Structure 1
Amino acid sequence: MIDVTIENFEQEVIAASLTQPVLVDFWAPWCGPCKAIGPILEKLEVAYGGAFKLVKINSDEEQQLAGAFGIRSIPTVILLKNGQPVDGFMGALPEGKVREFLDKHVQALAPEDEEAEEAALEEPAALDPAAQLEKLQHAVATDPANDDARFDYVKALLLAGREDDARRAFEPVANKAAVVRRVDALARWLDALSFAASQPKAAELDAKIAANKRDFQARFDRARLLFAQQQWTAAMDELLEILMRDKAWNEDLARKTYIAILEVIEPPKPKVAEGQIPPDDPTVATYRRRLSSVVLS
Structure 2
Amino acid sequence: MQPRNMSMSGVVDLAAVKAAGEAKQKAEQARAEAARQGGAPAGAVRLVLDVDEASFEHEVLQRSAEVPVVIDFWADWCEPCKQLGPVLERLAGEYAGRFVLAKVDVEANQRLFQQFGVQSIPAVFAVVAGQALPLFQGAAPEAQIRQVLDQLVQVAEQQFGIVGVPVAPGAGEAEVPARPAGPHDAALGAAHDALDKGDLGGAVQAYKNVLSDDPGNVEAKLGLAQAELLQRVQGMDAQQVRKAAADAPGDVSAQIAAADLDLVGGHVEDAFGRLIDVIRRTAGEDRDAARVRLLELFEVIGPDDPRVTAARTALSRALF
TM-score by length of 1: 0.44
Where relative contact order (Cα < 8 A, 6+ residues apart) is larger, the structure is 2
